[in-house]
Amino acid sequence: MSSIERVDVFVASPGRTFVTLRITTTDGVVGLGDATLNGRELAVASYLRDHVVPLLIGRDPARIEDMWQYLYKGAYWRRGPVTMTAISAVDTALWDIKGRTAGLPVYQLLGGRSRDGVLVYSHASGTDVPSLLDDVERYLELGYKAVRAQAAVPGVGGTYGVRKGTVYEPAATDLPDEQPWDTEAYLGFAPTYLEAVRERFGFGFHLLHDVHHRLTPIEAARFGRSVEGCRLFWMEDPTPAEDQSAFRLIRQHTTTPIAVGEVMNSIWDVKDLITEQLIDYVRTTVVHAGGITHLRRIFDLAALHQVRTGSHGATDLSPVSMAAAVHLDLAVPNFGIQEHMGHPAETAEVFRTGVTFADGMLHPSEEPGLGVEYDEKAAERFPYQRRYLPVARRLDGSVHDW
């Protein structure tokens, strides 16, 4: 019987910092998992190397569910982003091994296709309304059928979500960039540029917008109501989701669909949001919510309550977890949409992936497993670089919510 013989943890920064787990079995089968936790990557790498890897050697790689329960319950200290990201990496690697052993792509092991492709959206932004409109046009010409729109708030020095240069990369500084934030200015401006997008391009595509958790519940309700005429696909992260009951207030005042969950890492974090139908899309990810095994559990609960999937897919998801997300998206019955930002050219030097984009959708590789390979030698050319997301501060200098 095959067993786990070796486990390696790699930290490299090919355009973005990634933590990659590689599990090798005694019969030579290799599986890959993503263990990237943006801004806290080394914490997960240490958790894996010092605490998880010794537990894996000699175990049966086919017992995926048992391994998940063993790592989750056996640690006593449960949940949290570091623990769940580490478990995610192991779980994803084991699904990769399962597929390679069976000679099937992972989506076939999950029940096969529920759709022909995975609808995705990408990020248009601008320093003002004209440049935003030009960027939306660019994405529509590339074939996207769904576009997220963000523009810099006039008079506010830094607006998260607005691309600087050719690549949108929010984690770009060695220490957090501290950016000012003005809620009233945002509330007055954002609806105007979303209306401008609809006025220029019409309603023949899906339009999304990210609030980045920066509003109180009543402010989020006000915003959602003000943009109902734009028919948004969703407003994302309108308020911090630690208080799940806050979304009841938003629901009372607006019919704009709500998406939330990318910073959540377990089914318990989103249970009330789903079962009370306080959201329309759950954005938990394969890399931060316990891997394919646990994310499928979240999606199954969501399906019972007419909540669809809309997983986070920023550049801090390596090609490994993006491939895993696409395989799962393809199989689940309640899929909604998948975020897709792509990766810089340096990333492609380290990761080879069979996921392709066509007609506004992503399509998984038909190779066994996840269809991703990791070039260890190439990764050595991109040593670890510390990079943090920015921190928002109100005009009075106090730290603001995301």
Q: Which residues are catalytic?
A: 160, 212
- The two beta strands, 178-181 and 118-126, are unpaired
**In this structure, what token pair is assigned to residue 110?**
């999950």
What backbone torsions phi and psi does residue 261 show, to the nearest 5 degrees?
130, -5
Distances (CA, A) of 397 to 162, 170, 215: 22, 21, 17
- The two beta strands, 361-363 and 356-358, are antiparallel
Residue 235 near residue 211, CB atoms below 8 Å:
yes
Measured at the alpha carbon of residue 285, what is the angle toward residues 282 and 291, in degrees to the nearest 5? 125
Return the SS3 of 83: helix
Around 48, how many Cα atoms within 13 Å sit in the side-chain half-sphere?
Answer: 29
**In this structure, what token pair is assigned to residue 69?**
């329960």
Contacts of 246 (CB under 8 A, 6+ apart): 217, 239, 240
Residue 87 near residue 56, CB atoms below 8 Å:
no
Chain centre distance of CA 385: 21
